[in-house]
Structure 1
């Protein structure tokens, strides 16, 4: 019996994505300047667009102190991490960054990883195995779901934001260690997990609560310490949490912070930490500068909150349907995959870059525009986006109505 052709399978999957309106196309950014980006088309020609879909929430990615730290360290220590941390790749700058983040988040220790995806893989694979379980919010990031599956433990999921659902899942499990894992801020909905309730659930069921706060650290809580601090929780309730360096802090990489014994265990046993090259010291230096700015520049969070309030008020005034989010992530549900793409294209024609998010990133029927706001945006830019959204809505609705009229007329034409 002949083996199936992987090439044919891939082609069939590509054709299916195209038929469903779910093809994914990379956009090439040639340059960034503040909230603007120069985007190249297929012919190599560029056009400046206002970026309303990135994750640079505090506007730190281009800050002169952050870029300067990167350049200075690269000129002294080179471009690469050279080796894994436990061979000869661990640098004094890595130590300094881990210490700064641990101090900021109020935890005994922190550990640096190359990305948030790697960090989540490391945590769950190092802590769980056969006979154990991981209970997760249904809308958790893909890295948490993959991490649980690769650990070999049982994966159970509860309805989004439902602490009672979480406790039901934990109660139904046989004996074995358990981790209750959740996003702090959900990346596609922009809402915040009910962390205080989940902490009670974890304590009652003797589970470890792990929070991936990739979209919370830097923007929420006192001094930007994230959703865990905003919920007035500490290491006793949340023994481990993830802080990304690639979103509000504008750099690259991630840090897992928390209980000293657990973090030390990760440093000695987590495969995504042991068997990969350390983050380049220059990138760590840039993130260290960004953390220091995020800690002291309270005005950045204040400006971001004012921008969020302006956008939501304007959207309500124009009848634009937003999900209930008070964070920098402001999803506008569209429903139909092709309509979401049409909205995105209409916005780009007016000078705005806003990504259309479709399944499987979001549930079936949940296609949306994922609009993100930053301290780098000014009020005039937000007003211009709101006007463009209103026009895009009317344009897509008009095109849909015309298409419907044409479809209805087709049988009459055939009979004639």
Structure 2
């Protein structure tokens, strides 16, 4: 036997993925690439905004390059706590708790709130971070069909566990559709369950001035609703946050492993997020512009009328989707390409994300390229 024999299975696995059209490559981008971006989650177009850069730079100079430790040791700065208060106030929550990523926020919140004596009911369309949180929670897991409130109610009504937690995205990342939050909350209230809503794709796009779908439907500040969000999409930075009742925040500080054992969010990311939040408060119209741009993309691609920044163009075969994305890129347009396991088999797609800063010239190129490429891909 040779040392490489232990890795032989990797070659077989890689070959299987290539034949199925599921191989992925990292494609570095350059700071000034002459390409129109419909793939990123920079919905508000703030990643290079002067306020964001100034916030990041000021924090970097004041606190240095890293947080230097976990939040419970040396990783909490005054700026972390300012961001928590400002974000909570913006979305109408009681308190906030910043994590190093949105993924970590979901893992920490679910595993700390659930546990062996709890039932977790998760929507089938939930983000991978919530799926992984379920697996780590040691709870009994029930996966409900997508947006099926009756299935959630049945699972809650027949449970034997003393506690229950219902999980959903507010805006689902692949389809871009919305969760029926009011109905879900009513069912949770009737059965003594908590509702956790991942607002990663809702904040900055839905609600008054981008305050999110939870705020839009009147559930902001409800003590039995936990909101998680990321700082890496509309807020053009990095990190995650849990927004909840003060008792939940205290519990997470004491028990959430991704908070206790992870290094705190880098100060520059905190400053950048605060800068983006400042812009969003000053320019609330940006959220509406994102939805306008999304409707334009949907009309160009004959997709369903969007309810968020996400426009999903299903092509079916992963090879076709990859080829269409490659042709778009060669013609100056970067689009997302979602294949299994990100989406179910047979639904590989181009995932287009609208941005508030798309210009008239950008839209002309988008219309021209997508019309030509999709004509070929659908034929």
What is the TM-score when the length of structure 1 is the normalising length?
Answer: 0.87
Q: In the alignment, does 2:325 pair up with 1:344?
A: yes
Bigger-Rg structure (1/2): 1
Aligned to 1:392: 373
Distance in 1 (CA, whole Å) between partners of 2:288 and 2:103 is 29
Aligned to 1:184: 170
Unaligned runs of 5+ in 2: none
Say which of 311, 321, 329 aligns to 1:330: 311
Deviations 1:243-262 (A, max 9, x none): 21100110000110111101
Deviations 1:220-245 (A, max 9, x none): 10121101011111232652101211
After the TM superposition, list the runs of 4 or more consecutive aligned residues in structure 1 that deviate by more than 4 angstroms: none
Deviations 1:358-382 (A, max 9, x none): 0011001110000001011113312
Q: How many residues align?
A: 376
Aligned to 1:367: 348
Indicate how the Cα distance of structure 1 residues 249 and 154 shifts in structure 2: closer, same or farther if over 3 A, else same: same
Cα drift, residue 296 of structure 1: 2.1
Aligned to 2:334: 353
Cα drift, residue 333 of structure 1: 0.5
Distance in 1 (CA, whole Å) between partners of 2:307 and 2:248 is 32
Alignment of 1:8-407 (within 5 A): 8-32=8-32, 38=33, 48-236=34-222, 238-315=224-301, 320=302, 322-397=303-378
Deviations 1:153-208 (A, max 9, x none): 11111111111121122223222311001001000000110000100111112110
Indicate how the Cα distance of structure 1 residues 152 and 6 shifts in structure 2: closer, same or farther if over 3 A, else same: farther
Distance in 2 (CA, whole Å) between partners of 1:353 and 1:141 is 23
Aligned to 1:405: none
Indicate the SS of the match to 1:354.
strand
Distance in 1 (CA, whole Å) between partners of 2:6 and 2:107 is 27
Cα drift, residue 384 of structure 1: 2.0
Indicate how the Cα distance of structure 1 residues 273 and 6 shifts in structure 2: closer, same or farther if over 3 A, else same: farther
Cα drift, residue 141 of structure 1: 0.2
Distance in 1 (CA, whole Å) between partners of 2:20 and 2:295 is 35
Indicate the SS of the match to 1:156.
strand
What is the TM-score when the length of structure 2 is the normalising length?
Answer: 0.95
CA contact 1:307–1:379 (8 Å) conserved in 2: no
